[in-house]
Amino acid sequence: MNQRRFTPGEAAPAAGRDASAPRLQVSGLSKSFLGANALDDVSFTIEAGEVLALIGENGAGKSTLIKILSGAHRPDAGEVLVNGERVDILSPRDSEDLGIATVYQELSLFPELSVAENLVFGSFPGRGIIDWRSARKEATEFLASLDVHIDVTKRVRELSIAEKQMLEIAKALHRRAQIVILDEPTAVLGGEDVDHLLALVEGLKKRGVSVIFVSHRLEEVFGLADHYVVLKDGRLTGAGRISETDHDDLVSKMVGREFARSSRSVNQNLGDVVLAVEHLVRDGVLDDVSLTVRAGEVLGIAGLRGAGRTELARAIYGADTVNSGTVRVNGVDVPNGSPLRSIRAGIGLVPEERKTQGIFIALSTAANIPVVKMLRRGLRVVRPAAERRLALAYKDKLRIKVGDVNAPVAQLSGGNQQKVVLSKWLDAGVDVLILDEPTRGIDVGAKQEIYELIRGLCEQGLAIIVISSELPEVLSLSHRIIVMHHGSAVAELDGETATEEQVMNYAVGGRGQ
């Protein structure tokens, strides 16, 4: 490819002249949209080889700040300095030329191109013939040096979510960034993938690369960050060394009130069995899985990534066909492999990929909410006025932060989009609700609201399945917990007495004591 080769984590040449200056200095940044402040006089610095945790609820201004640094937005006031030199970031190209690389939650990969083509895309020569053999060799060596083992000839659309995320991060590193912004990089990862990514960030620190790390998983923040910045409603509400704060203090700064830890579900007034799954088999994926869920009960599904949790949810919902086994709702068999018939039988699914599977991202909040009820009842007439009234009702009921219910749902934060997804199923009136990673990519304040909603639905008699990679979440919500390993349900634990150690023991294939 006739391009200069380099090692992973090697920083780009310094953009400024003052080696003693902070790597990045943000001073008095402000930005408003239609008169509403998204950022209001925000300032902070980050040194070379330092990890700065950027923390805040969804809608706090984090995305606006990131987009200013990446060149997608221009600030109304304030300045940005890189290595002591004032810079104007007027476009994404300006940001990249300054050595700033941003890895968003929404990946920017080309699904029909190969892993190698995506990785070296920015290194293509302006003219001449591309040496694809060299490109594949460079991609293989580069990924291997990061301990990322992906077949570079595979198309991106064939990769798992975790593989896509790791490729996106590798692509940013391939461009020799000296400042890397990671926006919720572990939100779609689990288990060893998370450990690998955090180790990769530690390696960047040692090479002098500065990292802005956005995460709602505060345990990651405390294990990785040197300093923190907390935003709320566009304003700076806290900043300092991570060693001088604690979990509850950070959460209080995020939500603007004293943090109250979530308690375990206490509803013991369980009703009859609503959902019965018997001997479900899907070759190579699910191996003879059986379970029941009663009215007013939360059944937690735990296990490592690849254990079959999501596949089980999809099979119960009818999105994936099974080779054998039955699913019954209130004693009535549900046809295999038919989501529509599952919906009409009273089963709802909130999928882990809400933006591609849970909502119509280009439609409004008002248009999204009634969709499931229309499917369930076979309705075909759209009534905009009624849809608007319904959306306003759920806006108040679920505290959805939306200015205009007729605006595209794409404009909402992740937590508010998740509330729109939940609103669809509540409006449809299902008996069984499956929640697959219900708080993934959602801030702490919104998590608490989702937890309260789940408990409220229990009190109303819904049968609920919660699938989560966060063990504290499973333990705090569940009456019973089923642990999966290699497609099998290997243990059933009492939610009142189960511990993280017990769950993890079964999740990795251990046996009971």
Whether residues 217 and 300 fall in one domain: no
- DSSP structure string for 258-308: --------------SEEEEEEEEEETTTEEEEEEEEETT-EEEEE--TTSS
What is the model's pLDDT at position 511?
67
Cα 88–Cα 93–Cα 95 angle in degrees, nearest 5: 50
- Indicate whether 51 belongs to any domain: yes
Helix (H) and strand (E) counts for the chain? 17, 20
> Which of 400, 429, 458 corresponds to the end of one domain?
429
Split into its structural domains, the chain has a count of 3
- Domain membership flag for residue 261: no
143 in a structural domain: no
Are residues 31 and 104 both part of a single domain? yes
CB atoms within 10 A of CB 74: 12
Q: Examine the fold and report which residue of 387, 407, 429 is the final residue of a domain before the chain moves on.
A: 429
In whole angstroms, what is the distance from residue 367 CA to residue 390 CA?
10
Is the same domain home to 186 and 97?
yes
- Do 230 and 378 sit in the same domain of this protein? no
393 & 472 share domain = no
250 and 179 in a single domain? The answer is yes
| CATH code of the domain in which 40 resides | 3.40.50.300
With respect to residue 152, please indicate whether it lies within any of the assigned structural domains: no
Q: Which residues contact 334 (CB under 8 A, 6 or more apart)?
A: 318, 327, 328, 341, 342, 345, 347
Whether 435 and 423 map to the same domain: the answer is no
Last residue of a domain, one of 409, 429, 449: 429
Domain that holds residue 386: 354-429
Same domain, 323 and 208: no
Q: In what order do the strands lie in the sheet with 347-350?
A: 347-350, 432-436, 463-467, 298-302, 480-485, 488-494
Task: With respect to residue 201, please indicate whether it lies within any of the assigned structural domains.
Answer: yes
pLDDT in tens, the chain (513 residues): 433 333 444 444 444 456 678 999 999 999 998 777 889 999 999 999 999 999 887 678 898 999 999 999 999 999 999 999 999 999 999 998 898 988 887 677 889 999 998 888 766 555 556 778 888 888 898 888 877 889 999 999 998 777 887 888 888 778 778 899 998 887 767 667 778 778 878 878 887 889 999 987 788 889 899 999 999 889 999 999 999 998 878 878 877 755 554 444 545 678 999 999 999 999 989 999 999 999 999 999 998 777 899 999 999 999 999 999 999 999 999 999 899 999 999 999 998 887 778 888 888 989 888 888 888 887 777 788 988 998 899 888 888 888 889 888 888 877 888 889 989 988 888 999 999 988 877 777 778 888 888 988 898 899 999 999 888 889 989 999 999 988 999 999 999 899 888 888 888 776 655
Please give the pLDDT value at position 486.
87
Alpha carbon of residue 154 to chain centroid: 24
The answer to whether position 5 is within a domain reads no
The whole-number pLDDT of residue 414 equals: 77
Same domain, 228 and 274: no
Return the closest-CA partner of residue 230 out of 56, 33, 405. 56
Q: Is residue 298 part of a domain?
A: yes
Residues 328 and 363 in one domain: no
34 and 181, same structural domain? yes
**Do 298 and 401 sit in the same domain of this protein?**
no
Predicted pLDDT of residue 402: 86
Residue 17 DSSP class: S
Assigned domain for 157 exists: no
Distances from the Cα of 16 to the Cα of 24, 50, 73, 83, 178, angstroms? 10, 18, 22, 5, 12
